[in-house]
Amino acid sequence: MITQTKITGNELHAKLVSLHDPTYTPELCEQYATLIDEILKLKAQRSAIVLAHNYQRPEIFEVADFIGDSFELARKARDVEDAEIIVFCGVHFMAETAKVFNPERMVLLPDLRAGCSLADSVTAEALAERVQELREIYPDLQVVSYVNCTADVKALSDACCTSANAVKVVNRLEADNILFVPDQNLASYVQGQTSKNIISWDGNCYVHHQITPAEVERAKAGIPGLVVIAHPECRKDVIAMADAVLSTSAMIRYARESNADKFLIVTECGLSDRLLMEIPGKHFYKACKLCRYMKMITLAGVRDALTNLRYEITMSEEVRQGARRALDRMLDLGA
C-alpha cells in the first residue's frame, strides 16, 4: 500500500520532469496538486481506496493506494479490507473484476468510456456457440479466458489467466485441448511454451498489435546495447526479437534488477513513464503507443467519481459467481 501525502505543484513538477513531457508545465502541475489534495480528502471522507493499473497517467499514481498489473490488481481487489468504496483507475473489465471480489462494496469507474478493444472482441453468446462446436471435436475442451474480457465471458470459462500466469494456468489444467480467449497473440505465445493444443480466439489488443518488427529494429539499430522487453500481447514476430517477454509488473522487476541500463519497453507508454519515475539512472525508450481507453481516466474524473459516487459497476449475481469461480481457479492454479 502506498502512503499518500499532500504534494505541492512544484514537488509534482520536479517529479514529472523525468518524463521529458512538455505538457507537464508548472501551471498544470499546480492544478493537479489541487485536485490531488481534493481527492485525498474525499478518499478519507468516503472511506475509499484507489487501485490503479500500470498504464495509467503518472498523476493518477499520486492518488493510488496500489499500482499494479491486472493479476496484482485482481489479487489486491480480493484482499481489500478497510474500505467501503473502491475507485478503479483502469478499464471496465478490471473494475468488474474488483466488483466480482467485493459484492458488498461500491466499485466506481471514473469514466464509462474506459473500455477495451480486446474485451470487446468476444461476447458470451459467441463464446457459448464456439464451445458447443468445439466440444464435439474435443470432448475434454476447457476454456481459459485472459482477464481482459467481460464478467459474463469469465463466467463461461473454466479458468481465467493473466499474461503473467497464462502458461502456468494452461499447463495445470487437466484438459489437453484449450480454447484460449480472446487474445490471439497471447494464445500464440502460450502455444510456444506448452505441449497442449491451444485453439485461439481471433481478438487482439489494438495497442500491442500495431507494434511492428521494423519499429523494434530501428530502435535497436540506433541505440547500441539496448535490451528489448516485450509484452506477450505483442505480435509473434515482435516477441521473437525480444530479450525478455514479461507482464508489466515483471518488466519493472526485471529492469530494476538487470545490469543493463538501456531498455526498449514494448508495451503501452504508461509503463515506461512509471519506470522513468521509479528507476532513475537507467534509460527507458518507449514504444510510444498509448491506450486511448486507459487514458480516459483523469484526476478530475476521479474527483467527480468520489463526489457524485459514479459510475457504479453492477452485474447479476449469477454472472458474478461464475466469474468468481473462474478467477479463483486462476488464483489457485497461477499462484
Binding residue (CB under 6 A) for ligand SF4 from 35, 36, 116, 156 = 116
> Could you say whether residue 293 binds ligand SF4 (CB under 6 A)?
yes
Smallest gap from Cβ 84 to ligand SF4, in A, equals: 27
- Per-residue interface string for the shown chain with ligand SF4, residues 243-282, x marking contact by CB under 6 A: -------------------------x--------------
Tell me which residue has cell 472482441. 121
Element (H, E) at 236: helix 236-239
CB of 121 to ligand SF4, least distance (A): 10
**From the CB of 211, what's the least distance to ligand SF4, in Å?**
11
Dump the DSSP string for 21-88: -TT--HHHHHHHHHHHHHHHHHHHHHTEEEEEETTS-HHHHTT-SEEE-HHHHHHHHHT--S-SEEEE
**Does 297 interact with ligand SF4 (rule: CB under 6 A)?**
no
Is 91 a binding residue for ligand SF4 by CB under 6 A? The answer is: yes
CB closer to ligand SF4 out of 117 and 193: 117
Residue 206 engages ligand SF4 in binding (rule: CB under 6 A): yes
Q: Compute the distance between CA of residue 284 and CA of residue 172 in angstroms, rounded to an integer.
A: 35
Does 294 contact ligand SF4 by CB under 6 A?
A: yes
Cα–Cα distance measured from residue 315 to residue 318, given in angstroms and rounded to the nearest whole number: 8
| Least distance to ligand SF4, CB of residue 119, Å | 6
The dihedrals phi and psi of 264, each to the nearest 5 degrees, come to -100, 120
For residue 264, give the H/E element and its range. Answer: strand 262-266
DSSP 8-state assignment for residue 15: H
- Is the bond leading into 311 cis (omega within 30 degrees of zero)? yes
Of the pair 42, 55, the CB lying nearest ligand SF4 is at 55
Tell me the C-alpha distance between 122 and 294, whole Å.
19
66 lies in the site for ligand SF4, by CB under 6 A? no
Q: Pick from 291, 297, 315, 330 the residue near ligand SF4 by CB under 6 A.
A: 291
Q: Which residues bind ligand SF4 (CB under 6 A)?
A: 91, 116-118, 148, 205-207, 268, 291, 293-294
